[in-house]
Amino acid sequence: MSQSLQFFTPSRSPYVILPKLPATSNVRFPVINFPSRKHSITITKCLSSDLDATSSQVLASGNGQSGVAGVLSADNVAAVPSHDSGAAGIEVDAVTEAELKENGFRSTRRTKLICTIGPATCGFEQLEALAVGGMNVARINMCHGTREWHQTVIERVRRLNEEKGFAVAIMMDTEGSEIHMGDLGGDASAKAEDGEIWTFTVRALNSPRPERTINVNYDGFAEDVKVGDELLVDGGMVRFEVIEKIGPDVKCRCTDPGLLLPRANLTFWRDGSLVRERNAMLPTISSKDWLDIDFGIAAGVEFIAISFVKSAEVIKHLKSYIAARSRGSDIAVIAKIESIDSLKNLEEIIQASDGAMVARGDLGAQIPLEQVPSAQQKIVQVCRELNKPVIVASQLLESMIEYPTPTRAEVADVSEAVRQRADALMLSGESAMGQFPEKALAVLRTVSVRIEKWWREEKRHEAMELPDVGTSFSDSISEEICNSAAKMANNLEVDALFVYTKTGHMASLLSRCRPDCPIFAFTTTTSVRRRLNLQWGLIPFRLSFSDDMESNLNKTFSLLKARGMIKSGDLVIAVSDMLQSIQVMNVP
């Protein structure tokens, strides 16, 4: 039996209207949809053993009849938005679904895309356009904007997910306590000309901001710099030489002219090297960052990215803080690799984190630019070895802040990150305040798909030695299963890998193998599903499933077939973390 039902107001236990079911007190069935607000219900099959008698009863009524028609339990219930009637019971990203139908399995995009949200993209329609364009994760940068502003963005993304069936995750990025300029008193930028004398001061400035005067956020600034030091704005976009110190004011002569942007990063260099003593003393997580982190936990963000990580300790500390604060929800902590210290302690930091970001903006201000590409390659490789998702960020399409097409060099840079098989690519200014956010996202999307296909078809991926990551015997079994399943999938040229995973761990182990086919990851919770949206090649679905793989597969096949996402004859390999096995089969 398969029928669609309409849900009506729940009091405490969920009620459904079941038009043709005879009044009965003991018919039980797996109810696939949870009938919370405006959700519809689909019943696919009647099975008396499927439900837990201790959970809520489902009252069915219709055609003048009513009665207890079944029981809902956490294991056989999943939410599907109300727009999603018809073959409901499974949640997948609306965009991915369309892509799958249009292009088939093999050509779905594997590389995930992150957009920094800013004034150019914070409207509901703008966010929707990005989601439609393939944004998997929305990043909010706590360096800019107020908490109220960020709250509004989060609410809009959540509403979009709920109303339109997206699974866009939220990443909150901390400000960190590196030295940066003030916000220019509301000016969008300030031009520094060659030879001009500018004052950098730790004094609070009156508005309007005095001419050629810049506030610096760090109180020790005037003490720390020395006459003769070189002051670099944003890693060298503009350069000054320190010529005089007068109390809290530091007078500098502009030696490389350019545009100063609000809150631009400042570094100072002495005898050709970066002065780092002070940075080493600043806390990685400032008191303002802790407040932002509390805000992020309360808002239920999926990821918190920590700026200027220096050691694994800070990550461990934050993870235990999050665990104590947000019982049950597991927010993933992403370490931003953007300082010399983070490179020195790379393995430990990544091991302690749930993922890493190659934050090339600041990294390029701390190490010579020509060392950034090899650092990127190394970080991507370590993350893959340790099974942590990795994001390549900053200046991927910088020129698209102003122009509607990228430079050839930018396309080559994006291709290289895709070729390295990074999990995700990130837009910063291009989407936050650029003139062509959607076009920039489209470039990431099309370049990713094209390069992935090319490298896959040409079999150009050098095999990577993947060291064991499992710490328990059971973990090792899961890992072996995933490694073997991925290899079988490539050798047998299967259409898709299916993974049934409650925590997402098995899905990430499969993703780590970077198989040729896409990975359909079925998970029971919305939060795991959104978190998986950052990882290479995973198409995360939310689905209620049981320990019985046979019935899980049958249910998945019928739901996906009903939506036109798979068809009879497709070859699939399925693994699960409930039953440690590999199954190979054709979709019936």
Ligand X SMILES: C=C(OP(=O)(O)O)C(=O)O
Ligand Y SMILES: Nc1ncnc2c1ncn2[C@@H]1O[C@H](COP(=O)(O)OP(=O)(O)O)[C@@H](O)[C@H]1O
Listed ranges 1-9, 214-222, 326-334, 357-365: which one lies at the site for ligand X (CB under 6 A): 357-365
Query: Which of 360, 512, 514, 529 is the binder for ligand X (CB under 6 A)?
Result: 360
Asked if 267 and 179 count as a contact pair (C-beta separation under 8 A), the reply is yes
Binding mask 304-343 for ligand X (x = CB under 6 A): ---x------------------------------x-----
Which pair of tokens denotes residue 137?
Answer: 């994760």
Query: Which of K ion, ligand X, ligand Y, none lies near 360, with the C-beta cut-off 5 to 8 A by kind?
Result: ligand X
C-beta closer to Mg ion: residue 334 or 559: 334
User: Within positions 133 to 172, which residues make up the interface with K ion, using CB under 5 A?
Assistant: 141, 143
* Neighbouring residues of 171: CB distance < 8 A, sequence distance ≥ 6: 114, 137, 138, 139, 140, 301, 302, 303, 304, 305, 334
CB of 390 to ligand Y, least distance (A): 18
What's the distance, CA 168 to chain centroid?
A: 8
212-250 residues labelled b (16+ CB within 10 A) or e (exposed): ebbbbbbeebbebbeeebbbbbbbebbbbebeeeeeeeb
Q: In what order do the strands lie in the sheet with 496-500?
A: 91-92, 538-542, 519-523, 496-500, 571-576, 582-586
The CB-of-173 to ligand X minimum distance in angstroms stands at 5
Q: Give the shortest CB-429-to-ligand Y separation in angstroms.
A: 4
Tokens of 315: 């990550």
**Separation of alpha carbons 277 and 198, rounded Å:** 25
- The 3-state DSSP class for residue 191 equals strand
Strand order of the sheet with strand 3-7?
41-43, 3-7, 15-17, 57-62, 65-71
CB 561 within 8 A of CB 587: yes
Contact criterion met (CB below 8 Å) for 530 and 167: yes
Q: What is the smallest separation between the CB atom of 475 and Mg ion, expressed in angstroms? A: 33
Using CB atoms within 10 Å of the CB of residue 14, give its burial: 0 to 12 exposed, 13 to 18 middle, 19+ buried: buried
Distances (CA, A) of 259 to 169, 238, 239, 254, 324: 33, 7, 10, 11, 44
Q: Which is nearer to ligand X, 10 or 236 (CB)?
A: 236
Q: Where does this chain touch ligand X (CB under 6 A) — which range of 5-13, 40-48, 54-62, 354-362?
A: 354-362
The option from ligand X, ligand Y, K ion, none interacting with 432 (CB < 5 to 8 A, set by class) reads ligand Y
SS (H, E, C) 101-130: HHHCCCCCCCCEEEEECCCCCCCHHHHHHH
Tell me if 133 sits within 8 A of 139, measured CB to CB. Answer: no
Under the binding rule (CB under 5 A), the answer on residue 359 touching Mg ion is yes
Q: Which two tokens stand for residue 10?
A: 């729940």
User: Which of 175, 289, 292, 362 is in the footprint of Mg ion by CB under 5 A?
Assistant: 362
# chain residues binding ligand X, by CB under 6 A = 12
Which positions from 159 through 178 interact with ligand X, judged by CB under 6 A?
Answer: 173
- Name the one residue in this structure whose structure tokens are 């030091």: 229
Q: Closest CB to ligand Y among 361 and 518? A: 361
- The owner of tokens 């490789």 is 381
Question: Shortest Cβ distance from residue 121 to ligand X (Å)?
Answer: 15
Query: Residues interacting with ligand Y, by CB under 6 A?
Result: 116, 118-119, 141, 143-145, 149, 261, 263, 361, 428-429, 432-433
CB of 287 to K ion, least distance (A): 16
Query: Minimum distance from CB of 115 to ligand X (Å)?
Result: 13
| Residue 50 or 362 with smaller CB distance to ligand X | 362
429 interface partner picked from ligand Y, Mg ion, ligand X, none, CB below 5 to 8 A per type: ligand Y
CB of 108 to ligand X, least distance (A): 27
Query: Would you state the structure tokens that stand for residue 99, as one six-digit string?
Result: 């892509």
Inter-residue contact 233 to 258 (CB < 8 Å): yes
Using CB distances below 5 to 8 A depending on partner kind, what does residue 393 bind out of Mg ion, ligand X, ligand Y, none? ligand X
- CB 285 to ligand Y: min, Å: 17
Interacting partner of 505 out of ligand X, ligand Y, Mg ion, none (Cβ under 5 to 8 A depending on kind): none
Q: Report the residue from 89, 361, 389, 406 that binds ligand X according to the rule CB under 6 A.
A: 361
Q: Which amino acid is at 446?
A: T
Binding mask 169-188 for K ion (x = CB under 5 A): ----x---------------
Which residue's CB is nearer to Mg ion, number 152 or number 395? 395
Q: What SS3 state is found at 151?
A: helix
Q: Side chain identity at 560, as an amino acid letter? A: L
Our finding on whether 307 is near K ion (CB under 5 A) is yes
Q: For residues 323-352, which are near Mg ion according to CB under 5 A?
A: 338
Shortest Cβ 92–ligand Y spacing (Å): 29
- Binding mask of the shown chain, residues 385 to 404, with x at each position contacting ligand X by CB under 6 A: --------xx----------
Q: Would you state the structure tokens that stand for residue 330, as one six-digit string?
A: 């597991």
CA-nearest of 525, 496, 418 to 78 is 525
Pairing of strands 169-173, 137-141: parallel
**Nearer to Mg ion among residue 362 and residue 479 (C-beta):** 362
Q: Which stretch binds ligand X (CB under 6 A): 122-130, 294-302, 353-361, 417-425?
A: 353-361
Q: Give 268-276 contacts, CB < 8 A, sequence gap 24+.
A: 268/224, 268/225, 268/229, 268/230, 268/231, 268/232, 268/242, 269/229, 269/230, 269/231, 269/232, 270/226, 270/228, 270/229, 270/230, 274/340, 274/366, 275/224, 275/225, 275/229, 276/340, 276/341
Q: How far is the CB of 497 from ligand X (least distance, A)?
A: 31
Annotate each residue in 264-303 with x if it binds ligand X (CB under 6 A) or - if it does not, as one string. Answer: ----------------------------------------
Query: Which one of 155-163, 343-351, 353-361, 493-501 is the stretch in contact with Mg ion (CB under 5 A)?
Result: 353-361
In 380-537 the beta strands, taken as DSSP E runs, fall at: 390-393, 424-427, 496-500, 519-523
CB of 299 to ligand Y, least distance (A): 15
Find the binding residues for ligand X in span 410-449 (CB under 6 A): 428
Residue 369 C-beta: closest distance to K ion, Å: 20
Q: In terms of CB distance, is 98 or 291 closer to ligand Y? A: 291
Nearest residue (CB) to Mg ion, 341 versus 362: 362
Q: What is the contact surface with ligand X in residues (CB under 6 A)?
A: 141, 143, 173, 307, 338, 359-362, 393-394, 428
Q: What is the contact surface with Mg ion in residues (CB under 5 A)?
A: 338, 359, 361-362
